[in-house]
Chain A
Amino acid sequence: MSATTMDGGFCPEKAVDREPAAAAPASSVNHEQAKEKTMEKTIAVNSGTPFSERLGAQLRTMLPPVLGLLIVLGIWHVATFKGGSIPGPAQVWQAAVALFSDPFYRNGPNDQGIGWNVLSSLQRVGIGFGLAALVGIPLGFILGRFAFLSAMINPLISLLRPVSPLAWLPIGLLVFKKADPAATWTIFICSIWPMIMNTAQGVQRVPQDYLNVARVLALSEWKVVTKILFPAVLPYMLTGIRLSIGTAWLVIVAAEMLTGGVGIGFWVWDEWNNLKVEHIIIAIFVIGIVGLILEQALILMAKKLTKESAGS
């Protein structure tokens, strides 16, 4: 009600008539002013901070992780200095140089380069994970959209989700009669839960306002899914995908140890049988690095996609 005087005093009709035409140049002027301001700022930053200071800042962010790594290497070196069953960093380094000089050799089905092993593990993860996404994301949408189905299936998911994916391996072996699809099946099972749950949660959390818009426009279910649900759920879905791929990469190593064939998990087991401990340590690093790359790639993708869907 406080608008009484304001309404009466400030807005003659003429101003309204002029408004649309006047608004355009006014706003672009504002933009330019804003641009100028930010430019001034960046210049100020560039000239204001000397080179040494910026280098110092970079050093400060780099220092702790490098220091951590060095300390671990140091402890490792000291612990293995006098010999023993575990090789020291230098030995492992030499073995790694030899190993990575020819990562893609093939001496029969059970003796292949580390590159092939990593690639075939990635392939299994890719297939199992891809199938899980194909099933899990639509299923998540359906569960999020229909309360009855969600009430029907949620208890089952709660029951199955805590089961170690490896417990499903024998079922896979039984059904597929082969090691390779059984490992893929295990990946499928472990990847699917986070995707279902996160997608369903995302669908349930779509703001009611957007759904009201859909109802007033009486949009078709297809339009509701593509124009409202999918963009709104995307961030949740990507979280599910990221969690899934992390678990999948954890599980593949164990699954391959059990199934054999070609793959980084199998390779670890094989080198254990050959008692090449330095290779096992290399494998640990390789598994860690590949997992890190997968995770970072997905975070990057998530950032890009959600930015696009938010429209900035």
Chain B
Amino acid sequence: MEKFVSIERVGQTFETKKGKFVALREVDLNIRKGEFIALIGHSGCGKSTLLNLIAGLTRPTSGVLLCDGREIAGPGPERAVVFQNHSLLPWLTCFENIYLAVERVFSQKEGKPKLKARTQAAIELVGLAHAAQKYPHEISGGMKQRVGIARALSMEPKVLLMDEPFGALDALTRAKLQDELMKICEATQATTVMVTHDVDEAVLLADRIVMLTNGPAATIGEILTVNLPRPRNRLTLAHDPAYIECRAAVLEFLYEKQAHVEKAA
């Protein structure tokens, strides 16, 4: 298997007032180019910690992370992040928020008209051309999240990292955005890692589902390959035996093998 992102024996320990807290230990994972990985697990299991490590926002205590053959030494636009709470700058319009990213990545090679065209293309990709000149507080949560995705995609990243991007949205908006995301990923062939706690989301979107054990000292418990043909349709999948089997496998992992955290919480 061709490795594009590889995570090798990665551990993460945080210094807290109560002493050392081991968040992750011995995580090994290889991700192919163009693959869609879903990271799933109970809250506090270190999903976001792992994503931040791939993003380079934090450095691992032990082990190495590589992206395209190079060690991940810090954050960078080639690994774009869609944050859980959209993180748009409130003093910039949707257009300007995306433009900031486009400008950073492409301004050395391209002139202003080209940069603007790129920004416009990104905003059209998520179907928000009509809201380009609006400020984040003037649009709905789902629209904000779409701008966040547009911003990430506009940078043409090698890897798209998403931290529970649809967690704060209602079920209908979430479904709509999941469908859009599937199309976008198909069109751009982006390598994607998405943190989620939604089993259906994971099965619908992912090529492989990486299931983390409960923290502290979480690690990869199981990896499930989702062998469903693309494009996937949520309606037909609902009755697909393979889909149902995948769902059952993830649910079993979460609620039988890793159930005890529920009692603790």
Do A and B associate with each other? yes
Of A98-106, A115-123, A208-216, A262-270, the segment with at least 4 beta carbons within 8 Å of chain B is A208-216
Question: What is the predominant secondary structure among interface residues of chain A facing chain B?
Answer: helix
Q: Check if B180 sits within 8 Å of A16, measured CB to CB.
A: yes
Q: Is A223 an interface residue (CB 8 A)?
A: yes
A23 interface residue (CB < 8 Å to B): yes
Q: Is the CB of A13 within 8 A of B179?
A: yes
> Which residues from chain B contact A210 at a C-beta distance below 8 Å?
87, 89
Instruction: Tell me which residues across on chain B come within 8 A of A6, comparing CB atoms.
Output: 171-172, 175
How far is the CB of A282 from the nearest CB of chain B, in Å? 45
Q: Does B92 sit at the interface, judged by CB under 8 A?
A: yes
The residue on A at minimum CB distance from B237 is A8
Contacts of B209 in A (CB 8 A): none
Contact B238 A8 (CB under 8 A): yes
From 88 to 112 in chain B, residues with beta carbon under 8 angstroms from any chain A beta carbon are 89-93, 100-101, 104-105
Instruction: Known A23-B130, A311-B92; judge A7-B79 contact (CB<8 A).
Output: no
Nearest residue, chain B, Cβ from A309? B91
* A20 and B129 contacting across the interface, CB-CB below 8 Å: yes
B contact residues around A215 at 8 Å (CB): 57, 74-75
In this complex, the interface size class of chain A, counting residues with CB under 8 Å from chain B, is 35 or more
A7-B200, A13-B179, A16-B180 known; A216+B55 contact, CB < 8 A: yes
Q: Which residues of A contact B3 (CB under 8 A)?
A: none
Within 8 Å CB of B175, what residues of A? 3, 6-7, 10-11
**CB-based contact B233/A216 at 8 Å:** no
CB-CB under 8 A from A15, the residues of chain B are 176
Cβ of A231 under 8 Å from chain B: yes
CB-nearest residue of chain B relative to A27?
B130
User: Complex: how many Å from CA A223 to CA B204?
Assistant: 39
A221 within 8 A of B: no
Evaluate whether A227 and B77 lie within 8 angstroms (CB atoms) in the complex, with A12-B235, A13-B179, A27-B130 already known. Answer: no
Contact with B along A12-45 (1 / 0, CB 8 A): 1101100110011001000000000000000000
A7 and B204 in contact, given A1-B199, A20-B129, A216-B55 (Cβ under 8 angstroms): yes
Q: Measured between C-beta atoms, what is the minimum distance from B198 to chain A in Å?
A: 6
Q: Is B87 within 8 A of A213, CB to CB?
A: yes
Residues 189-220 of chain B, each 1 if its beta carbon lies under 8 Å from chain A, else 0: 00000000111110010000000000000000
B9 interfacial by beta-carbon distance below 8 Å: no
B135 CB–A CB distance under 8 Å: yes
Q: Check A217 for interface membership: any CB of B closer than 8 A.
A: yes
In the complex, whether B127 has a CB less than 8 A from a CB of chain A is yes
Tell me whether A227 and B100 are in contact in the complex, defined as CB-CB below 8 angstroms, given that A6-B171, A212-B83 are known contacts: yes
Q: A310 to B235, Cβ gap below 8 A?
A: no
Is A311 within 8 A of B200, CB to CB? no
Q: Scan A200-222; emit 1 where CB is below 8 A from any B CB, else 0.
A: 00000000011011011111000
Any B CB within 8 A of the CB of A92: no
B170 to chain A, nearest CB (A): 9
Verify A209–B85 contact, CB threshold 8 A: yes
B234 at the interface (CB under 8 A from A): yes
Assuming the contacts A3-B198, A215-B57, asked whether A19 and B79 have C-beta atoms less than 8 A apart, the reply is: no
The smallest beta-carbon distance between A224 and chain B, in angstroms, is 11
Let me know if A312 is at the binding interface, CB within 8 A. Answer: yes
Residue A281 interfacial (CB < 8 Å): no
Contacts of B75 in A (CB 8 A): 212, 215-216, 218
Select A310's contact among B91, B101, B174, beta carbons within 8 Å.
B91
CA separation between A24 and B129, bound complex, in Å? 9
| List of B residues within 8 angstroms of A58 by Cβ | none
Decide if A107 is an interface residue (CB 8 Å cutoff): no
The digit string for B130-151, where 1 denotes a CB below 8 A from any CB of A, is 1100011110000000000000
Contact status B104-A219, CB under 8 Å: yes
CB neighbours of B83 from chain A (8 A): 209, 212-213
Residues of A within 8 A of B171 (CB): 2-3, 6-7, 10
Min C-beta distance of A147 to chain B, whole Å: 16
Q: Nearest-CB distance from B200 to chain A (Å)?
A: 5
A4 interface residue, CB < 8 Å from B?
Answer: yes
Count chain B CB atoms within 10 A of each CB in A8, A228, A231, A310 and give the residue with the most.
Answer: A8
Q: Is A16 within 8 A of B200, CB to CB?
A: no
Bound CA span A24–B198, Å: 30
Pair A218/B104 contact, Cβ less than 8 Å: yes
From residue B194, how far is it (CB to closest CB) to chain A in Å?
15
Q: Which residues of B contact A213 (CB under 8 A)?
A: 83, 87, 89
CB distance from A231 to the nearest CB of B (A): 4
Q: Mark B117-130, 1 if CB is under 8 A from A, else 0.
A: 00000001001111
B81 at the binding interface (Cβ < 8 Å) = yes
**Residues in B whose Cβ lies below 8 Å from that of A209:** 83, 85, 87
B contact set with A: CB distance below 8 Å: 55, 57, 74-77, 79-81, 83, 85, 87, 89-93, 100-101, 104-105, 124, 127-131, 135-138, 155, 171-172, 174-176, 178-180, 197-201, 204, 233-235, 237-238, 251
Question: Can you sample 8 A-B contacts with CB below 8 Å?
Answer: A3-B200, A7-B174, A7-B234, A8-B234, A20-B129, A210-B87, A216-B77, A219-B100
